[in-house]
């Protein structure tokens, strides 16, 4: 049994208005991905949109036929949300994945991943890695592409106080040590697979990613449905909107509606009340830190009262617990 954990020194007592609300990234609360594309210009490029103790969330653009330097990671699993185009992943051991818009691709630590835009137009993927994000270059044993790069690259400074205590480290390259048939721990998650599993359900959720740093959850909600207003003491939460229109109401009075292709980030301490607007069922990918303490609070925008219990937790098994 692994004992890895994330310790966060920067904790707050909420509810408070957003303590960070930047006009640029990272630290921008409501991002329209198309705005980033237009601001960055022609590919290739990458832009960090989320950056804290746990995650460096980076939007990456590639033209057809281009991609990354094949590499692996010692101490973290990396995963991506495909936001545009058709993208191919090669894994150590020969596995190949071709992903499309809305798919989530997950690679366990130790496995080389070589990523390439195999479509006809621009590809966009949102990569979620762990700072300082050490990349260990290694040839792709599927297509034999050999990296022209330093042996270790892509190291970035941690941007916020805290410590990552990761005892579950590996020496790669190795084939995927986890390749589950059901979630979490599925290497390639498609929207078709999720909709087939939850066919006929009016509202559902599925835990896609579960490790030391993150619980990543796809969830759907019909018109008028939403969460109980709450805040988090020790982590920032963020979401990607795949479908529908969703209203966020934040402590301090900020409110906005996010639509398909938007990214929303709420700093720790800020109450967030989330509700589906319009007739279309909404779908969003929510990213929290385990064990996901939700501190219930009144919504000071709409007046909804908090739940009776003071705090609730997310009990989600980590994919590496059985190793």
Per-residue pLDDT of the chain (323 residues; tens, 9 = 90+): 444 567 788 999 999 999 999 999 999 999 999 999 999 999 999 999 999 989 999 999 999 999 999 999 999 999 999 999 999 999 999 999 999 999 999 999 999 999 999 999 999 999 999 988 889 999 998 999 988 888 998 766 555 556 667 889 999 999 999 999 999 999 999 999 999 999 999 999 999 999 999 999 999 999 999 999 999 999 999 999 999 999 999 999 999 999 999 999 999 999 999 999 999 999 999 999 999 899 999 999 999 999 999 999 998 988 987 77
Q: Are 50 and 115 in contact (CB under 8 A)?
A: no
Q: Are 63 and 122 in contact (CB under 8 A)?
A: yes
Burial class, 15, CB count within 10 angstroms (exposed 0-12 / middle 13-18 / buried 19+) = buried
Q: What is the pLDDT of residue 318?
A: 87
Q: What is the pLDDT of residue 5?
A: 62
**What is the C-alpha to C-alpha distance for residues 112 and 91, in angstroms, rounded to an integer?**
5
**What is the C-alpha to C-alpha distance for residues 28 and 14, in angstroms, rounded to an integer?**
20
Q: What is the pLDDT of residue 274?
A: 98
**Eight-class DSSP state of 27:** S
**What is the C-alpha to C-alpha distance for residues 37 and 44, in angstroms, rounded to an integer?**
11
Q: How many CB atoms lie within 10 A of CB 13?
A: 9
Give the residue among 214, 204, 189 at the shortest CA–CA distance from 319.
214
SS3 content of the chain, % helix, strand, coil (to 5): 5, 40, 55
> What domains can you pick out in the chain, each with its CATH number?
5-165 (2.60.120.10), 188-312 (2.60.120.10)
């Amino acid at each position: 049994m692994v004992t890895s954990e994330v310790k966060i020194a920067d904790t707050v007592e909420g509810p408070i208005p957003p303590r960070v609300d930047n006009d640029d990234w990272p630290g921008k609360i409501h991002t329209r991905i198309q705005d980033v594309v237009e601001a960055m210009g022609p590919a290739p490029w990458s832009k960090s949109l989320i950056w804290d103790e746990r995650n460096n969330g980076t939007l990456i653009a590639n033209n057809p036929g281009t991609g990354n330097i094949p590499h692996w990671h010692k101490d973290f699993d990396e995963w991506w949300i495909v936001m545009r185009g058709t993208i191919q992943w090669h894994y150590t051991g020969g596995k190949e994945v071709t992903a499309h818009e809305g798919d989530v691709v997950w690679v366990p630590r130790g496995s080389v991943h070589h990523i390439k835009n195999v479509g006809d137009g621009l590809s966009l993927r949102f990569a979620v890695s762990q700072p300082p994000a050490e990349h260990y270059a290694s040839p792709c044993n599927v297509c034999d592409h050999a990296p022209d790069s330093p042996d270790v690259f892509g190291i970035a400074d941690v941007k916020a106080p805290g410590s990552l205590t990761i005892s579950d480290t590996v020496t790669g390259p190795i084939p995927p040590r986890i390749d589950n048939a059901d979630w979490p721990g599925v290497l390639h998650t498609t929207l078709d697979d999720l909709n087939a599993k939850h066919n006929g359900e009016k509202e559902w959720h599925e835990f896609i990613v579960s490790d030391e740093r993150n619980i990543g959850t796809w969830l759907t909600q019909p018109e008028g449905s939403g969460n109980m207003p709450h805040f988090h003491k020790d982590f920032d939460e963020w979401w990607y909107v795949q479908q529908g229109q969703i209203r966020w109401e934040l402590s301090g009075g900020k409110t906005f509606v996010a639509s398909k292709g938007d990214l929303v980030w709420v700093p720790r301490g800020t109450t967030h009340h989330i509700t589906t607007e319009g007739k279309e069922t909404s779908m969003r990918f929510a990213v929290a830190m385990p064990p996901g303490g939700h501190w219930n609070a009144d919504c000071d925008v709409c007046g909804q009262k908090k739940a009776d219990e003071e705090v609730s937790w997310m009990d989600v098994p980590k994919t590496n617990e059985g190793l």
